[in-house]
Chain A
Amino acid sequence: MLGFVIRRLLVAALLLLAASFLTFMMIQLAPGDYLAQLRMNPQIGDDVVEQMAERYGLNDPVLVQYGRWLGNLARGDMGFSFVHERPVAGLVWEHLRNTIFLMTMVILVTWLMALPMGIYCAIKQNRLTDRVLSALAFVGLSIPNFFLCLVVMWLAAEIGGIPVGGMTSAHYEYLSWGGKVVDVALHMAIPVLVIATGAMAGLQRVTRGNMLEVLRQQYVTTARARGLPEHRVIYVHALRNAINPLITIFGYQFALLVSGAALVEIIYSWPGMGQLILEAVLTQDLYLVVGVVLGSGLMLILGNLLADILLGVNDPRIKFGERGAS
């Protein structure tokens, strides 16, 4: 098990390095850079720009620059953000924390709502509630996140009372401890709702499908025939087997959510990874782009790894390390 995790992480680290190289090259080969914007600024003299280029070694060949960046990375230095005038590592960590915070809430809401809904729909297959919920799930799956964002933003503004945008109010610093929690929770409510809609819909559909499949198995019939109470049949015999494929989805979902949430974060100005990369891309802030790509890739890897470990815990038949490390 430990060996499996270590090997997986090693492969992932190599892949991330390759990804960082690609990103580095892409941004470097792109016309213009951050300094070009400084040159356009009449308040900044050419000599200052040259000094900056000299200090960060931006005049060196691309490969030399990448090599230097890699060397610094080994020492835990991810480079310097020109726009924020801060080290990238701290910046990425701050935003990553906010995104993970948001994601955790989303996943909590999603699973707590979708699992019971999916199970219920499977038990009451083709009844009215099943049909209505399944149709709603389909709509939820199809509605683009950013469109839902805007519609919910509009509704929230019409109703009033719910803050839209940002993570904290302006007077956050003056609030008591409890007040701060309530303030953040209120700001989170709408982004979590919007992101969870799509994720929930997908999970509900899969849960329902898996549950239906399992309920058709012979061991379920056997369990019923032996006179087990229905709730034991469903929650012990069927559910444990139906949940297996869902755990893989948990990992994927984490990855998908990182991606899907980015746009919601941007629209609601939640200070997460989405905002950070948009800003970095728009200003061609080289090291920051690479840093964000690394950070988001790391989240994806950890999500998948977590899913694999959970899968092994839930299903003892799965042995680690036999399937290769990809």
Chain B
Amino acid sequence: MLRRRLRQFWDMCWTNGFLLSAVVCLTLLYLVALFAGFVSPYHYDNEDRTRSYHPPTRIHVFDDGRLTRPHVREYELTFDEDYRRVFVPVEGVRHDLRLFVRGDTYSFLGLLEWDLHLFGVGEEGRIYLLGADSRGRDLLSRIAYGAQVSMTIGLVGVAIALLFGLLLGGISGYYGGWIDTVIQRSTEIIMIIPGFFLLLALRAAFPPDWDSIRVYFFIIVILSFIGWASLARVIRGMVLSLREKEFVAAARVLGAPDRFIITRHLIPNTASYFVVYASISIPGYILGESALSLLGLGIQDPHASWGNLLQEAMSITQIQLHPWILLPGFFIFVAVMSFNIVGDALRDLLDPQQEVTTTI
């Protein structure tokens, strides 16, 4: 069953260009998140305050009209006629781009310390492929590290919401009675407050100055706390209708224990819905985290998430002077869109009757 579905999904990828590119994008983003330390030329907190808002450096392959090794120019800070800070490339000073260079140490997959980077320009120069932020930190590196937060928060959050939604929704539908009433009223209380307001109110319940690791887990907990309610209601409905089916009645008459009925009949029959639910609701988690971090209530500097990277872009003058600080938002957009495309395809494949849902 599962293998056939996978096979169908695979076939769909090759006939649908959008789907294929979405799957490729997601794979790349997760690879970047996994190997963030290796892919990025610098550590996320490696700053050079003399190069605040350094523009993206171009990679040159020609020098004096002759083909040479790829290199970047050294930039010098000067002031233009309006006394604005501008960086201009210095003629003649170049830093060769090299692969597998040694640089900042990072922990590789959390297992061992390593200092090898995919590319870099060595000690004497700096490379900013996507520009630098206010403290002269490489935006590309920060985006790569930010992917670790932004790309995982959806997965973990959905997993937790699924667990609780499944458990409580299942219990609610299967046993009925007062348990059902209590659980259903709880979901209604959660769902009666608009998501974003609940998110902020819940965030208010905890100190704003927590360190980023704790905030990370805490945000996941809040988001899945908001997310489980709607899921539990759907699961309850499904279980209610399944409970009346002949094969469940037959199992019960044959003396099967509840545990057996739940694990062998109820869960497999609702499984395809979970897959669709997961891929459709992940964007909501990514956006929720980004929104909190954007407002300064989420992941804190120096740690990076795509949301808090955008914090610098909250002022018009900064965007006008340094438009590249908008780039993290583009990554959020790509991730959300890819999940939406994959979710859509999965829904077509597994559950054609399901209606379209939208997120924040």
Give chain A's interface residues, CB within 8 Å of chain B.
12, 15-16, 18-19, 22-23, 26-27, 29-32, 138-139, 141-147, 150-151, 153-154, 157-158, 164, 198-199, 202, 205-206, 209, 245, 255-256, 258-260, 262-263, 266-267, 273-274, 277-278, 280-282, 284, 289, 292-293, 296-297, 299-301, 326
Contact = CB atoms under 8 A, between A and B. Distances in A.
B250 interface: no
B196 A150 contact: no
B189 A19 contact: yes
Given A26-B204, A153-B316, 6 more contacts: A27-B205, A141-B358, A143-B336, A146-B310, A259-B194, A281-B200
A284 B207 CA distance: 10
Interface in B170-215: 184-185, 188-189, 192-198, 200-208
Q: Which of A146, A157, A277, A280 has the most CB of B within 10 A?
A: A146
A32 B207 contact: yes
Contacts of A138: 337, 340-341
B360 A145 contact: yes
A17 to B, nearest CB: 9
A153 B316 CA distance: 7
Contacts of A209: 356
A263 to B, nearest CB: 5
A185 B199 CA distance: 30
B279 to A, nearest CB: 13
Interface residues of B, number: 47
A284 B204 contact: yes
Nearest to B204: A281
A292 B189 contact: no
Contacts of A143: 333, 336-337
B40 interface: no
B316 A26 contact: no
B302 interface: no
Given A255-B194, A297-B193, A164 B316 contact: yes
A297 B195 CA distance: 10
B323 interface: yes
A194 B287 CA distance: 16
A28 to B, nearest CB: 9
Contacts of B196: 259-260, 262-263, 274
B206 A30 contact: yes
Contacts of A27: 201, 204-205
A154 B319 CA distance: 6
16 contacts: A15-B185, A19-B192, A30-B207, A143-B333, A144-B336, A144-B360, A150-B329, A256-B358, A259-B197, A281-B297, A292-B197, A296-B193, A296-B194, A297-B193, A299-B194, A301-B192
Contacts of A296: 193-194, 197
A88 to B, nearest CB: 15
Interface stretch (B100-108, B127-135, B136-144, B288-296): B288-296
Q: Which of A22, A27, A147, A284 has the most CB of B within 10 A?
A: A147
B305 to A, nearest CB: 13
B326 interface: yes
Nearest to A164: B316
Contacts of A284: 204
Given A27-B204, A150-B314, A205-B356, A144 B197 contact: no
B332 A147 contact: yes
Interface in B313-360: 313-314, 316, 319-320, 323, 326, 329-330, 332-333, 336-337, 340-341, 355-356, 358, 360
Contacts of A151: 326, 329
B283 interface: yes
A-B CB proximity, top 4 nearest: A147-B329, A142-B337, A26-B205, A259-B194
Nearest to A273: B197
A118 B358 CA distance: 16
Interface of B: 184-185, 188-189, 192-198, 200-208, 283, 287, 290-291, 294-295, 297, 310, 313-314, 316, 319-320, 323, 326, 329-330, 332-333, 336-337, 340-341, 355-356, 358, 360
Contacts of A30: 204-207
B194 A26 contact: no
Contacts of B207: 30-32
Contacts of B295: 263, 266, 278
A144 B332 contact: yes
Contact of A142 (B184, B291, B316, B340): B340
Nearest to A294: B193
B313 A150 contact: yes
Nearest to B199: A259
A15 B189 contact: yes
A16 B193 CA distance: 8
Contacts of A15: 185, 188-189, 192
A198 B203 CA distance: 25
B340 A293 contact: no
Nearest to A145: B360
A31 B208 CA distance: 10
A274 B294 CA distance: 14
B26 to A, nearest CB: 13
A82 to B, nearest CB: 14
B326 A202 contact: no
Contacts of A273: 197
Given A259-B196, A300-B194, A277 B314 contact: no
A144 B332 CA distance: 7
A284 B323 CA distance: 34
B333 A142 contact: yes
Contact of B356 (A164, A202, A300, A301): A202
Contact of A278 (B189, B200, B326, B330): B200
A139 B340 CA distance: 10
Nearest to A147: B329
A273 B200 CA distance: 12
Contacts of B193: 19, 23, 293, 296-297, 300
A251 B128 CA distance: 47
B238 to A, nearest CB: 17
A282 B297 CA distance: 9
Contacts of A205: 356
A12 B196 CA distance: 19
A98 to B, nearest CB: 16
